Chains A and B, each alone.
Chain A
């Protein structure tokens, strides 16, 4: 039987506000345990939450970027359950009236684009952390760190419209790009700033109704997301094909074993007893507030991608790579504008530069070669001063120094030889020194020409313009 995979994602993004969603405590990561937990986070008797307006503005920013409806009246509700890292015994979240509804995100899957619709995005507070191991001098004890408690979260829920792990990863990456691009989330997945839960089900291809879904939690990297979905899809299909049936449940991904395992079934699910939080008035958003956020909106990744295709002639695929982060897009635009060489700039950035950054574990903002210096190199490739091979050599040298491309070319004498006289002389010498190759070429063996060209390049120490060498060789051998 052919199976279709159905995936919807719930992404918890920590909003990068300075203070917490309902108190003035700092949200900075990595402080000593419980040093950023005020009376509000500790849920002392009598404390009350007060909404942080900056979190509302950031949610509006996302809503505008996704073309969503911004609910001008939205309501906080209490989600009640007991857990030691949830000090109040309830999480303040949104249920019936979230701040953002609908909207869509366009993702690039290989060469194709796909539109994924959003269900909603709602504001809520993060919980603290339970620490079960590594507590100094204590064993068999669970520690509670409430520094994270009250960090603003925007939970972004997609429709179940993804049909493969690849699409799910593309969506998660596009959303990650967007929230960091908009400056509403730092995107740090190791620190938990961007956390993905995947709802996965399978159904026979062509069947209209959905299969029973499982929710996979604890996916803190794109790689885990992909591996977990693929494992889960495989597990569900195998289960059904063996005559079993999928049970709705929450499953945990274990990255060490590369498998998902049951965390709790639907029967064990909490009754959260949602009700509107009487301590918080509904958030009422004026059109003026939305307009003010709109005025501050940057050009969005999709818009920039289209512009790169139109103005710089790069491929849609390259443009989507170049717009995977705002910093990268800005880097590309600087190089392309300075050189007037969009495609060449794209090739260099997506090729050599990306590989080197990746090798050294750097992101674009940490690149040892600035956009200005790369533009200098691209210019020298475009005007034939450098062959591709020499250009790579120059790039290597630039990576380890502060010098410009021109300074390295000068210092190392790497300028491409395009002087016709000089090349002719080397060609004549090569012909004279390799009569066998000349004979073979004349007998129709085209490959022999490459051997001769190789000799010329060798004699020029790689600096002769390869295209010119070919041309002059053919001329001299009477083949042109």
Chain B
């Protein structure tokens, strides 16, 4: 049962071969046994979880169960969830119990999913290794010496270690895709505006997007059906007809045009990842896909553009953490300025401080045009690159990250080196496109490697179709780490 997919659990619950309370208990037991080593969860509250599970069982008994009622779900600690600590991986919010539900939480609650716990993450979603959490680094279940990726590292590790069948993540510059790749699970970042940001603690507003993480593409589609939808409380939420993201899963890939951006296969890509991606492309060819070479010439500029725009927005978004109304406040201070300075100095970790400083600098008088405005222009160029590429293909394939997961501590003293590893994921956020990671193999050292699928705006169903068909002929996604 512990290796079951959402779909299988849904069927088991419907058949009453297991109750939601039993299921929750199994996962809670596993978390109790394995989480001390993995550190994937920040908060586990068996009482709350079992109460939700009992409510789901009652709903089922009353004939009111939906497809996912009673299925356990891990929640990234970035989604405000009433009654749960919502720390965002920060000391700043260590004492913050959310008094309201994010839109996504409202949706998953309404669907009857059961919160199995709140997952660890890089502080305020800033990081690619999940080493920047106030609650300590998350370990990769495939190799405890390795990073799980970030910032949704806790969610990815939880699903990979079968501590939860699925999880909620967010992706600002790769934070769903990169940990999914490093942990050997499937995750999708939808088109910007498909999932409401209301109640998702903001990192970089114009880039943040919530999405599902699970074992399979099909599970991601089911969970995305629950998460997506218009929300009037988010002005960037898109008012579109409701979609069934499973509707294209079983379509044939015959004639599918797959674009391979030449810039994604240039210097810097490790041999392991190149081999895995090549093999995945070959597999898709067998399913009838045609391969075309495309070009995304401004790919390299995505790094400087992203590391201007994201910190700029973050520097402003994080100003509300001032110790006045909630969150961490220094115990001793002389005056107002001192209270701000001490509270923020104590409450934020070093990567968050670094980005606040960078963001403050690039927005400063006299520097705005040279940095922020220029980065916005680059952003437009990057979006135009994709627009041209999608005139030639249906989906773009490539690596998620240049290498498989590196070791914990390996890059933590070199932020620029860390930023460079985001090269294949940042462009998607800058352009607002959907992107996903699908398990596609392993590095020589046994660490998982994902294949990235990038789609045009609102082509999530097509991307999930490609991933699902790939998963029908491969079993990378069903492999679990030995724990």
Contact = CB atoms under 8 A, between A and B. Distances in A.
B363 A275 contact: yes
A109 interface: no
Given A46-B198, A48-B198, A274-B368, 11 more contacts: A43-B325, A45-B96, A46-B86, A46-B199, A46-B200, A48-B233, A80-B316, A89-B318, A273-B364, A275-B312, A279-B202
A280 interface: yes
Interface string A419-450: 00000000000000000000000000000000
The secondary structure that dominates the B interface is loop
Nearest to B92: A45
A84 B316 contact: no
A144 B324 CA distance: 9
Contact of A88 (B86, B100, B320): B320
Given A84-B336, A273-B364, A278 B313 contact: yes
A381 to B, nearest CB: 61
Given A78-B316, A90-B316, A46 B364 contact: no
29 contacts: A39-B100, A42-B326, A45-B88, A45-B96, A46-B98, A46-B102, A46-B197, A46-B199, A46-B200, A46-B202, A47-B198, A48-B198, A50-B235, A78-B316, A82-B322, A82-B340, A84-B336, A87-B320, A87-B324, A87-B325, A89-B322, A90-B319, A273-B315, A273-B316, A273-B368, A274-B368, A275-B316, A278-B204, A279-B202
B347 to A, nearest CB: 13
A51 interface: yes
A44 interface: yes
Nearest to B87: A45
Contacts of B100: 39, 44
Contacts, number: 97
Interface string B64-76: 0000000000000
Nearest to B324: A84
Contacts of B232: 50
B454 interface: no
Contacts of B325: 42-43, 87, 144
Nearest to A42: B325
Interface string B358-396: 001001110010001000000000000000000000000
Contacts of B88: 45
Contacts of B360: 273
A48 B197 contact: yes
B235 A49 contact: yes
Nearest to B323: A84
B295 interface: no
B26 interface: no
Contacts of A247: none
B99 interface: yes
A89 B197 contact: no
B348 to A, nearest CB: 13
Q: 7 closest pairs, A vs B, by CB?
A: A89-B319, A273-B363, A278-B205, A278-B206, A46-B199, A45-B201, A43-B320
B220 to A, nearest CB: 23
Contacts of A44: 80, 98-100, 326
Interface of A: 39, 42-51, 78, 80, 82, 84, 87-90, 144, 271, 273-275, 278-281
B93 interface: yes
Contacts of B197: 46, 48
Nearest to A78: B316
A89 B316 contact: yes
A82 B96 contact: no
B234 interface: yes
B372 A275 contact: yes
B236 interface: yes
Q: In this complex, which of B96, B205, B233, B336 has the most chain A Cβ atoms within 10 angstroms of its Cβ? A: B233
Given A82-B319, A273-B364, A275-B312, A45 B205 contact: no
Interface string B88-127: 1000010010111010000000000000000000000000
Contact of B80 (A45, A78, A281): A45
Nearest to A146: B325
Nearest to B312: A275
Contact of B235 (A48, A274, A275): A48
A279 B235 contact: yes
Contacts of A45: 80, 86, 88, 93, 96, 98, 201-202, 320
Contacts of A280: 235
A274 B368 CA distance: 9
Contacts of A84: 322, 324, 336
Contact of A51 (B99, B199, B235, B340): B235
Contacts of B234: 48, 50
A87 B327 CA distance: 13
A160 B326 CA distance: 43
